[in-house]
């Protein structure tokens, strides 16, 4: 298994990631793209602000890629996460997996995005028309 | 840098997200008893910054890995307060 793990202030490139994932043996490639939406419940979201404990976030993403490849036969795994200020419609995260068959690619990709949201030390602040909050900070 | 005296453990603590807002800084120093565990640090933080009580839960990392409350803190450890993460 090969992996490509990135934290960056620059816009993410889903098609470049798709290209990276493609190998002659890969019959299935699943790429998940997260995008900034314009609301959370009834509140209008203007932008999101992401920050990370960068060295640990990289380590955790590498660890999750490893755990994932032990559970599913992955050819390549890409986990790219954006930092800084993102507007509605921009892409904070792209996760992609290539495998021989589609079932493993779907399952592995789902595992990675779910695990990222639990373990990787990245935080987002939602900025509304009148105020802001750190997501998940309070019950 | 702070100098270590033998009867005090001065630790550097990184804070992110809402923890940074509560501490009003992204890095602070705290003095603990030598041999203190993460649970002792947690109590000291709660005492110094009561707003931590309001958080759903907080994890700690030492040297870029998650640790449990039983972990003993060593003089040169890099400690980080990890409030609920929200990447993606």
Q: Is residue A27 part of a domain?
A: yes
Give Rg (Cα) of chain A: 15
Rounded to an integer, what distance in angstroms lies between the CA atom of residue A110 and that of residue A126? 24
Q: Is residue A139 part of a domain?
A: no
3-state DSSP call for residue A130?
coil
> What residues make up the domain containing A80?
2-130
Instruction: Please report, for the domain that includes residue A27, its CATH number.
Output: 3.90.1170.40
Confidence of residue B1 (pLDDT cuts 50, 70, 90): low
Q: Is residue A72 part of a domain?
A: yes
| CB-based contacts of A5, cutoff 8 Å, min separation 6 | A58, A61, A62, A65, A78, A79, A80
Report residues of chain A scoring pLDDT below 50: none
pLDDT digits (tens, 9 = 90+) for B44-81: 999 999 998 888 789 999 999 999 999 999 999 999 99
Token digits for B30?
């705290």
**Contact assignment for A136 to B86 by CB distance below 8 Å:** yes
Asked if A80 and A12 count as a contact pair (C-beta separation under 8 A), the reply is yes
Q: Is residue A136 part of a domain?
A: no
**Contact assignment for A113 to B88 by CB distance below 8 Å:** yes
Q: Is residue A49 part of a domain?
A: yes
Is residue A77 within a helix (H) or strand (E), and if so which, with residue range? strand A74-82
Q: Is residue A135 part of a domain?
A: no
Q: Is residue A138 part of a domain?
A: no
Confidence of residue B4 (pLDDT cuts 50, 70, 90): low
d(CA A55, nearest CA chain B) in Å: 7
In this structure, how many other beta carbons lie within 10 angstroms of the beta carbon of residue A69?
A: 19
Beta-bridge partner residues of A4: A78
Whether residue B88 lies within 8 A of chain A, CB to CB, comes out as yes
Closest by CA to A32, choosing from A68, A59, A63, is: A68
Closest by CA to A3, choosing from A59, A62, A77, A60, is: A77
DSSP structure string for B33-75: -TT-BHHHHHHHHHHH-GGGGGSS--EEEETTEEE-TTPBP-T
pLDDT digits (tens, 9 = 90+) for A29-53: 999 999 999 998 889 999 999 999 9
pLDDT on residue A96: 98
pLDDT on residue B55: 80
| CB-based contacts of B74, cutoff 8 Å, min separation 6 | none
Nearest-Cα residue of chain A relative to residue B86: A123
**Contact assignment for A50 to B87 by CB distance below 8 Å:** yes
- A57, A113, A123 ranked by CB distance to B86: nearest: A123
Rounded to an integer, what distance in angstroms lies between the CA atom of residue A42 and that of residue B12? 40
Rounded to an integer, what distance in angstroms lies between the CA atom of residue B55 and that of residue A112? 26
Q: Please count the structural domains in chain A.
A: 1
pTM for this one?
Answer: 0.94
pLDDT digits (tens, 9 = 90+) for A12-27: 999 999 999 999 999 9
Superfamily of domain B9-82: Beta-grasp domain (3.10.20.30)
Using a CB-CB distance cutoff of 8 angstroms, which residues of chain A are in contact with residue B64?
53, 55-56, 59
pLDDT on residue A114: 98
pLDDT on residue B19: 95
pLDDT on residue A42: 87
Residue A38's Cβ-side half-sphere holds a number of Cα atoms within 13 Å equal to 2
pLDDT on residue B52: 86
Q: Is residue A83 part of a domain?
A: yes
**Which ipTM score applies to this complex?**
0.92
């Amino acid at each position: 298994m090969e992996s490509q793990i990135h934290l960056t202030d620059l816009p993410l490139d889903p098609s470049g990631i798709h290209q990276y994932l493609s190998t002659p043996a890969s019959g299935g490639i699943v790429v998940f793209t997260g995008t900034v939406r314009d609301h959370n419940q009834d509140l209008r979201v203007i932008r999101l602000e992401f920050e990370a404990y960068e060295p640990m976030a990289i380590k955790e993403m590498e660890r999750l890629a490893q755990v994932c490849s032990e559970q599913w036969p992955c050819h390549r795994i890409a986990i790219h996460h954006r930092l800084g200020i993102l507007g509605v419609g921009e892409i904070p995260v792209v996760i992609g997996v290539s495998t021989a068959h589609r079932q493993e690619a779907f399952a592995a990709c789902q595992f990675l995005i779910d695990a990222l949201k639990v373990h990787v030390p990245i935080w987002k602040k939602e900025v509304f028309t009148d105020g802001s909050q750190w997501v998940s900070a309070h019950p | 840098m702070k100098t270590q005296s033998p009867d005090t453990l001065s630790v550097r603590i990184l804070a992110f997200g809402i923890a940074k807002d509560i501490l009003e800084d992204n890095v602070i120093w705290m003095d603990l008893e030598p041999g203190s565990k993460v649970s002792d640090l947690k109590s000291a933080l709660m005492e110094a910054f009561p707003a931590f009580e309001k958080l759903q839960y907080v994890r700690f990392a030492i040297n870029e890995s998650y640790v449990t409350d039983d972990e003993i803190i060593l003089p040169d450890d890099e400690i980080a307060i990890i409030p609920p993460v929200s990447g993606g």
